Structure 1
């Protein structure tokens, strides 16, 4: 519990709030709400790409579903701010990074068994945890995201994905670049940032939504779509 309290204190220090002025109506934070749709658009694009390939698989559809839920949950949180919107915002993000780390672990440790069964178990555990102890969702998401980064580094160094070397290097560089810029926009878009302009039509937190959605899309292209195509 002490660790959880410390993590939450760090989150508050970084500025968990998102700068934009809270208004009334269905779009309390219009820029942050509308930019949240970037996640859902990436998810829809993944579904269309998988269907167009003529061989849709479970991974693209499940991952896309997670991203669509991230977008809708974020719209609910920044828009109408309905009862339970915090959970609608946080839980899909946790499920998305759990999908990513579960997929990576299936490459690192094939002995772990069925990837889909493991993700189903993780999903059930995450939902139960989020409903019973919602305060742990945000710090747990950060921890799982960090685990994804570590797993991706190990996979890259061990050449565990069937990707040509040239594409492996360029893909890694592009994803890292977008991730760094999106992370910077999240930090600089906090309410206590000197760059915060609460009433501006441009919001760095909104930019974070768009760029992080692109990172999720690039990870799909890097970890699932192109690996499947090159291996076929």
Structure 2
């Protein structure tokens, strides 16, 4: 596989240049701002290493996505995808430990089950992961995780529940914008991927607020 092979999968990109996707590139500032918010909240309230790690991870998501929407090749595609899914895994572990008070052994078991379920879901969904719904099906496991956490925290009347519910709602809207990006090109040449970035930056900021305010002390 040629890692330097150019990638052109977004409506805004009309050529191979560095600034061929200016809105998609610059909107990654939303991730950086969300991460800085998390670091500020952590320094002010939590002073927790795990929260700091999550916040730094969001900044890395923004950097990786910026590289992908400027250089736009398979290598920078990895720089985009790997930080995203690394954050997902880290936040799940954080939530299990801090929101649900699971022991590390239970966290390991839950993560193993989650990984099996995620691969199972992706194995049975239609399409090749890129053409179907503009590749948005790859985020189905993340949606399922947010829905499960929202329901469980709400039932437990946990203080973080409203934040996770809000993050879930924002993510669903942002995913809709990601999905229709190519479809609206003819009528809206700039595309809608920029709103995916802006809303996801907001969503990750909400998750970091939940972590800093309500996930500092483990229950077990």
CA–CA distance in 2 between the matches of 1:173 and 1:140?
A: 21
Match of 1:52 in 2: 44
Structure with more contact order per residue of length (Cα contacts < 8 Å, sep ≥ 6): 2
Please list, as runs of the form range in 1=range in 2, the aligned pairs for 1:1-232 lying within 5 A after superposition: 17-53=9-45, 55-81=46-72, 84-106=75-97, 107-108=99-100, 110-113=102-105, 142-159=140-157, 161=158, 163=159, 168-169=161-162, 171=163, 174-189=166-181, 191=182, 193=183, 195-197=184-186, 200=189, 202-222=190-210, 224-227=211-214
Relative to its length, the structure with more helix (as a share) is 1
Aligned residues: 188
> Which moved further from structure 2: 69-78 or 147-156?
147-156
Q: Is the 8 A contact 1:179 1:215 kept in 2?
A: yes
Supply the distance in 2 between the matched residues of 1:145 and 1:180 (Cα, whole angstroms): 8
TM-score by length of 1: 0.66
Normalised to the residue count of structure 2, the TM-score between the two structures is 0.70
- Please tell me whether the aligned partners of residues 38 and 209 of structure 1 are also in contact (alpha carbons under 8 angstroms): yes
1:227, CA displacement in angstroms? 1.4
- Segments of structure 1 that go 5 or more residues without pairing to the other structure are 1-15, 123-134
Deviation at 1:212, TM superposition (A): 1.1
Cα RMSD after superposing both structures:
3.5
CA contact (8 A) 2:164 2:207 kept: no
